[in-house]
Structure 1
Amino acid sequence: MPKIDMTRGSTLRKLTIVGVASITALSLAACAQSQRDPGNQGGKTGGTLTFGAEGKPKLFDPFYATDGATFRISRQVFEGLVGFKPGSAEAGPELATKWESSTDGKSWTFTLKQGVKFHDGTDFNAEAACFNFNRWYNQKGAGQSSSVSEYWVDNFGGFADGAKPSLFKSCTVKDAQNIVVELTGASSKFPDVLGLPSFSMQSPTAMQKYNADNVVAQGESFIFPEYAMKQPTGTGPFKFVNYDTTNNLIELGRFDGYHGDKAKLDKLNFKVIADETARKQALQSGDIDGYDYPAPADWAKLKTDGFQVVPRDAFNVMYLGITQKNNAKLQDFRVRKAISMAINREQLVKSQLPETATVATQFMPKIVQGYNPNVKPIEYSPEKAKALLAEAGASNLEVNFWWPSEVTRPYMPNPQDIFGAIAADLRNVGIKLNVVTKPWNGGYLTEIDQAKADLFLLGWTGDQSAAANWIGTFFGNAENRFYTKSSPWGEDLAKRLDAADVTADKAQREKLYQELNRQIVEEYLPAVPLSHSPPAFVLKKDVKNLTPSPLTAEEFSPVTKG
């Protein structure tokens, strides 16, 4: 699934449906205290906080979003039936106070929180909830594109036209406070998937008024309606006010009609400053109150200067993607192996990432079920890399190497420097590089997903602690950004990932994923796992109560300043 760091980065993933013998009824008691409130209130209320963001949001309708910059705004403006507890990846109640399933896992009854209103005054109730489900399911035309409704395609599959199978079947209003969601099969991802920003509840009134579904394809890009660009309407503690594109400033205001603990700030602004050095300078000059993804080399000095440097737990992976579609030499395992052995990953982590970052042995962190502790680490050996290239007849290998500009990602704090380090290693073994750089939301993600690059830098911040959300996201469709369809094992890998996800027995499923992790790194290498990195944010000393999230899903409503 995207988190979609997604930047989350977008991918296609096959629909996976898990069959289970039985599912015990799940009923979560409503929390007396808002899930948004970590219980650490203090400092003054009111005022404006301006936070330095690393990238421009693509739009403001989270259903059509794939990028972390959009999701950051979404988490302040919108809420879902399910949420994630502050500071963790654990799902819990949000707009639904409890839920329970049938024994076959196909029918889910959600009890909704009462007294909730959208920012435009529309009541949130059972009809509004089903309106959202039906809106997702009934996308047409460009709205069905995996580049537009990616998180739906990744997690639910097809749409109401029946062209492709869908996990979703129907949403029925049981009464004003309860809905029944019917699935075509049980899924290990449901209902936690409803905590992702893409599946936030949005005002039916506003979506109809501003033609929310009117997405138009224009070549390989899309034009989004007024709702997505100017009128996002949720139930969250902050409401959307304005996007000043001239000054790259997204303005939010406190929603005084919020159903839970009101936001402490009067206003919350996100100032887009793509360059990390410029973000640091803006903090030092007092133009902003905090910013995301400080350069690891700056952490110590920032602390000395009196700022708070707050690290998150590393719940991500950075990798060097290898696309096999256009360059036939990259279809040879020996060439991909040579590329992996040419990279000094230990030095890369030591020189470019925070001191607690680690070299990745596979495409998921240790805490995800299915991680294989016995995967053999990739050896750094320029000599062996050169020998493999010669053996494969690729001593004069030439590749297009893409890296993203105008962005900083949790797993990739400085793309240009990371690119430079890897490029030097590849050139050292005789590989010729044709360098391509494009803005993150200005062509990079779209064209990477179209498998146009030979080599590219990307990564993932997990949405959930499930292997299907990691290697299932990356390789669960052979026509992915790596175009594993070009390898004889590509289709088989996708099928086996599906098979692992539908395995009901937890221990057996873990063994299947462990073996898949081993094979992906030791036998296939569709990409090179590089690192797991603990991203941080920086705050002025007087900013309090911003709880770090491993999902980079911080919520600003409890924050005080002064």
Structure 2
Amino acid sequence: MAHHRLLRSLRVTAIAGVAAASIGVAGSAFAQIPNKTLVYCSEGSPAGFDSAQYTTGVDFTASTFTVYNRLVEFVRGGTKVEPGLAEKWDVSPDGKVYTFHLRHGVKFHTTDFFKPTREFDADDVLFTFDRMLDPNNAFRKAYPVSFPYFTDMGLDKLITKVEKVDPYTVRFTLSEPNAPFIQNMAMEFASILSAEYADQLTKAGRAADINQKPIGTGPFVFRSYTKDATIRFDGNPDYWKKGEVKISKLIFSITPDPGVRVQKLKQNECQVMSYPRPADIATLKADSNVDMPSQPGFNLGYLAYNVEHKPFDKLEVREALDMAINKKAIIDSVYQGAGQAASAPVPPTQWSYDKNLKVATYDTAKAKALLGKAGFPNGFEITLWAMPVQRAYNPNARLMAEMIQADWAKIGVKAKIVTYEWGEYIKRAHAGEQDSMLIGWTGDNGDPDNWLGTLLGCEAVKGNNFSRWCYKPFDDLVQKGRTTTGQDARTTIYTQAQQIFAQQLPFSPIANSTVYQPVRKNVVDMRIEPLGYARFDGVSVK
């Protein structure tokens, strides 16, 4: 112990010497970041900055891709994975052991509330994952929270141990091979935290500060947050990806009203905005100071049938309700041309997408006959839930619900439209209160399992499987897809799963929307992120 402490005091002295010598260097490093400010008009206030606790794009944009890094990362504007805080990794022949070789010389942020005394190493990786894996972890006891993605994806059971081989090598052991594992490790919950900072907070009795005053190794350093108003970040002068930080100040101007976001963008009060309404697209395209890049969204808006509620347990009923919806009219009115009719439980841009799925054509008379055959010649009464918020996959759920309500009335089905505040809506839906509900998904990691397993697997029935549909032939394929390696072999499995989905119809796919990213013309290299968040590393302002 004494020996250990002596080493530490030697190291601290050495660090103090280095710090004194490098003040000039830090100054010049900071000078390398252009003195530019970028203002982003975002659509909502993050609930916090501890990525592992959250599941929404609002939270991820404000924390994951600004403040933190992960062992592996998604390339900007894509779903491919590249090295992050791990320079490389090896996988054992049986597919169960992943060894990550960590990057040297990575610094944690220095702020007015934390001054690191050491660089990033294996201890930080151990702390990050141990906190999610071990209910008795000291920090988790000091600040008890849940980790929805980590547990929804079954990673708490999949990862059996995380070990430090040496200060720059970490070994993960899995209970079985898992094809999407590396893609999953690039996700938001896997953002690496500072063990030293967590330790400092615990000692001070302020563990919850990790969610309000974040410390990471990422491109931007958190400065301040005023809920419903602004978040301020500074470019990180010590960022390990040299030359990737091109703005010295990044400001989030929190603007929930999409009409106000458009005005602010037009007046140059912000240079980038989130989620324009379909109705504003023409105005923005006409503005000579604004660019409007767009691409087919990596998303799906759909109508889920809760198969635990009668009569949705009957296939003919689900088929009749699906056939009675005029989806073309919805694409025209709700998406206003910025979307395409969906037929599968995954978007067309997802590898393994089956473009040959049979889709029923809109046919009121046939739908009515099917209902009669199912024993409901006079229809029935149900609830139809509509989201209160605009999402990439559904710009206007209320209007969509009203159109579906009118379509169903033609076959004798009376639907009562129900809505709640967004957090409440999701919470009640997880509890299974809905009969039918409008919801959707933007992919998280580019892997088909993130659609088929997350939205339709048996393990997700109390999570994101809002149809509460657990069907063994389908679920067996999902499990097989996870343990099979190679994209071709997995595509065969997922094609079969999609065909079962189309036969059983636990939800009606409605649309894949087109995603627009309005930016001022002086913004350089802002990319549309298919996974639904915004990123500002690599972005500059002319």
Of residues 70, 83, 101, the one that matches 2:59 is: 70
In structure 2, give the amino acid aligned to 1:89.
T
Q: Which protein, 1 or 2, shows the higher relative CO under an 8 Å CA cutoff with sep ≥ 6?
A: 1
1:236 aligned residue: 218
In structure 1, give the amino acid aligned to 2:170.
I
1:194 aligned residue: 185
SS of the equivalent of 2:395 reads coil
Of residues 7, 29, 40, the one that matches 1:51 is: 40
1:311 aligned residue: 294
Of residues 81, 93, 99, the one that matches 2:89 is: 99
In structure 2, give the amino acid aligned to 1:137.
L
CA contact (8 A) 1:324 1:483 kept: no
Q: CA deviation at 1:77?
A: 0.8
More helix by share: 2
Q: Which moved more, 1:225-234 or 1:111-120?
A: 225-234
2:122 aligned residue: 126
Q: Deviations for 1:467-507, whole angstroms, at most 9, x for unmatched residues?
A: 2111111111163455666x7x6344323321343344654
1:516 aligned residue: 497
1:146-295 → structure 2 map (5 Å cutoff): 148-158=146-156, 166-211=157-202, 226-245=208-227, 247-260=228-241, 261=243, 263-295=245-277
TM-score normalised according to structure 1 size: 0.81
In structure 1, give the amino acid aligned to 2:77.
G
In structure 2, give the amino acid aligned to 1:342.
A
1:21-32 → structure 2 map (5 Å cutoff): none
Q: Distance in 1 between matches of 2:212 and 2:323?
A: 48
Q: CA deviation at 1:98?
A: 0.9
Of residues 304, 309, 324, the one that matches 2:307 is: 324
The 3 A distance-change label for structure 1 pair 109 and 251 is: same
SS of the equivalent of 2:217 reads coil
Q: CA deviation at 1:116?
A: 0.9
Q: Distance in 2 between matches of 1:79 and 1:505?
A: 27
Q: CA deviation at 1:235?
A: 0.8
In structure 1, give the amino acid aligned to 2:152.
D
- Count of matched residue pairs: 494
1:217 aligned residue: none
Q: Deviations for 1:39-86, whole angstroms, at most 9, x for unmatched residues?
A: xxxxx9323322122233232111111111111112111110101111
In structure 2, give the amino acid aligned to 1:92.
E
CA contact (8 A) 1:322 1:455 kept: yes
TM-score normalised according to structure 2 size: 0.84
Q: CA deviation at 1:109?
A: 1.7
Q: Distance in 1 between matches of 2:188 and 2:229?
A: 22
Of residues 387, 408, 411, the one that matches 2:393 is: 411
CA contact (8 A) 1:48 1:265 kept: yes
CA contact (8 A) 2:98 2:171 kept: yes
Q: Deviations for 1:361-396, whole angstroms, at most 9, x for unmatched residues?
A: 111123434322221123111222222233333334
Q: Distance in 2 between matches of 1:287 and 1:430?
A: 51
The 3 A distance-change label for structure 1 pair 143 and 473 is: farther
1:552 is the counterpart of 2:532 = yes
SS of the equivalent of 1:372 reads coil
Q: Deviations for 1:305-356, whole angstroms, at most 9, x for unmatched residues?
A: 121112134211111111123x311212122112111211122223322646
1:438 is the counterpart of 2:420 = yes
1:531 is the counterpart of 2:514 = no
Structure 2, gaps ≥5 residues long? 1-32
Q: Distance in 2 between matches of 1:550 and 1:541?
A: 21
1:84 is the counterpart of 2:74 = yes
1:111 is the counterpart of 2:72 = no
1:449 is the counterpart of 2:447 = no
In structure 2, give the amino acid aligned to 1:150.
P
CA contact (8 A) 1:322 1:482 kept: no
Q: Distance in 2 between matches of 1:431 and 1:186?
A: 46
Structure number with larger C-alpha Rg: 2
Q: Which moved more, 1:548-557 or 1:107-116?
A: 548-557
Q: Distance in 1 between matches of 2:424 and 2:179?
A: 33
CA contact (8 A) 1:253 1:266 kept: yes
CA contact (8 A) 2:160 2:175 kept: yes
In structure 2, give the amino acid aligned to 1:387.
A
1:163 aligned residue: none
The 3 A distance-change label for structure 1 pair 194 and 555 is: same
Q: Distance in 2 between matches of 1:290 and 1:506?
A: 36
SS of the equivalent of 1:328 reads coil
Q: Distance in 1 between matches of 2:208 and 2:123?
A: 24
Q: CA deviation at 1:125?
A: 0.8
Of residues 268, 280, 285, the one that matches 1:298 is: 280
The 3 A distance-change label for structure 1 pair 507 and 285 is: closer
Structure 1, gaps ≥5 residues long? 1-43, 159-165, 215-223
In structure 2, give the amino acid aligned to 1:193.
N
Q: Distance in 1 between matches of 2:326 and 2:254?
A: 33
Percentage identity across aligned positions? 28
The 3 A distance-change label for structure 1 pair 97 and 483 is: closer
The 3 A distance-change label for structure 1 pair 503 and 177 is: closer
In structure 2, give the amino acid aligned to 1:130.
L
Q: CA deviation at 1:284?
A: 2.9
Q: Distance in 1 between matches of 2:498 and 2:135?
A: 35
The 3 A distance-change label for structure 1 pair 229 and 500 is: closer
